[in-house]
Amino acid sequence: MHKIIVTGGTGYIGSHTVVALQEKNYEVVIVDNLVNSSEKTVDRIEEITGIRPAFFPIDMTHQEGLRKFFRLHADAKAVIHFAALKAVGESVQQPLLYYRNNMLGMINLMDAMLEFGVQNLVFSSSATVYGTPDSLPLTEKNSTKPALSPYGNTKKIGEDMIEDVVKANPDFRAISLRYFNPIGAHKSGKIGELPSGIPNNLMPFITQTAIGLRKELLVFGDDYDTPDGTAVRDYIHVVDLAEAHVKTVGRMINQQQKADYEIFNLGTGKGSTVLEVIKSFEKTSGKKLNYRIVGRRDGDVEQMYAATDLANQELNWKAKYSLDDMTASSWNWEQKVRGLEEQDSFN
Ligand code: NAD
Ligand code: WQD
């Protein structure tokens, strides 16, 4: 049984990936300081898979704590690094919080990996590194752009740091995965995305409006050059994303990489407009959504969707869930989590 360290493993994408890894018989060890998640997620993972992942409440910015942890787990075959702060707006307000947390966390992580001989790193990157696309669909060969936010910059710098570390250390290998727009939740409704405060992202805003936590959804702009005027994104089911991580880890452990540092887009290849997401949600939930069109949101790009050929070929992976699957599972989660919150205050 191969041991995999998952940083940020109680978070949204991390928890789904832990489940997918356990289902493929990997032994998972989670590191998370719970700044944006709850330890109850460990219980939920156990309820889904029947296996309790080991959990270490460590802050990645604390080098000594992380070193002690790696001393115990130097036999791990790979690290999947999800742990980061991710709120774009907050990063504009508090850039140093983001640089300290996301960059120092990665420096400490790679230091410890090199010291203890853990040589395979999977990094959660983002399609945000492409900025405003020159051409669509976005392939991994599209140029990256100056980041639109400190958060986005931490992903760009993270990729650059990894590239340099790989060059300097012949035994160290890495894969960056550039996620497009992850939404949806596990079919059990036991894990999902639980934003703290008012959501910035579309899908949680939709489900929170439908359940009555928000008065109305504001649709940002209907004057884009798209089929219905609203902006286009490549939404991907978080369970598909989790599967891609399992394939990525397999590629690394089985030494199938074609270069010591590789980059893959993770999307479906299909763009959907905001109104299409709303229509899908109304169809799968059977609820009418209260929404209103307003002006564009600063910093939004018109259209983004991935070319998925490289991930399809090299990872032997393809997203299989539809937009309806995504909106249905998000709604299932929203309803269940509100129930769960009443029982045991989930967050
Ligand atoms: P999340 O906030 O749910 O999960 C991140 C986890 O990292 C949280 O559980 C948090 O407590 C933990 N964490 C943060 N800082 C830490 C630290 N210093 N030490 C230990 N743990 C720490 O976010 P997510 O949506 O699951 O995102 C996971 C990763 O994917 C992040 O790196 C994010 O930037 C990246 N990503 C997310 C999206 C998205 O839309 N969700 C898109 C592209 C990339
Ligand atoms: C999607 C679409 C909005 C909310 C962000 C980050 C990105 C990545 C994923 C981590 C856009 C519209 C949204 C609302 C709306 N995260 N919208 N009303 O902006 O593509 O990407 O999350 O790396 O870095 O920037 O995702 O879900 O915020 O927006 O109309 O209340 O929905 O304008 O067109 P985005 P999103």
- The tens digit of pLDDT for each residue in 35-67 reads 999 999 999 999 999 999 999 999 999 999 999
Cα–Cα dist 237/324, whole Å = 10
Residue 347 has pLDDT above 50, yes or no: no
Q: Is-contact 138 304, C-beta < 8 A?
A: yes
Encoding tokens for residue 54? 């080991």
Residues paired with residue 219 on neighbouring β-strands, in sequence order: 293
What does the pLDDT read at residue 343?
58
Please report, for residues 15, 24, 41, 186, 216, the alpha-carbon distance to residue 44 in angstroms, rounded to integers and kept in the order given: 9, 18, 5, 11, 31
Encoding tokens for residue 248? 């990525």
Maximum separation of any 2 CA atoms in the chain, in Å: 56
Find the ligand nearest to 55 CA.
1
Cα–Cα dist 243/247, whole Å = 6
Is 130 annotated in the active site?
A: no
Q: Which residue range forms the structural domain that includes residue 131?
A: 3-346
Test site for ligand 2: of 13, 88, 218, most ligand atoms within 8 A of the Cβ: 88
Mean pLDDT of the 254-282 span: 98
Q: Which residue has the higher pLDDT, 197 or 248?
A: 248
Q: Is-contact 113 119, C-beta < 8 A?
A: yes
Q: How many domains does the chain have?
A: 1
Residue 310: count of CB within 10 angstroms of its CB: 16
State which ligand 1 atom lies nearest to the alpha carbon of 127.
43
Cα–Cα dist 74/97, whole Å = 29
Among the listed residues 70, 259, 74, 80, the one whose alpha carbon sits nearest the alpha carbon of residue 167: 259
Please report, for the domain that includes residue 253, its CATH number. 3.40.50.720
Q: Is-contact 234 242, C-beta < 8 A?
A: no
State which ligand 2 atom lies nearest to the alpha carbon of 301.
34
Cα–Cα dist 319/269, whole Å = 9
Find the ligand nearest to 303 CA.
2
Cα–Cα dist 219/105, whole Å = 35
What does the pLDDT read at residue 339?
84
Report the chain's mean pLDDT, rounded to a whole number: 96
Ligand 2 center to 202 CA (angstroms) = 6
- The tens digit of pLDDT for each residue in 207-222 reads 999 999 999 999 999 9
Ligand 2 center to 87 CA (angstroms) = 11
Mean pLDDT of the 185-195 span: 96
What does the pLDDT read at residue 16?
98
- The tens digit of pLDDT for each residue in 67-119 reads 999 999 999 999 999 999 999 999 999 999 999 999 999 999 999 999 999 99
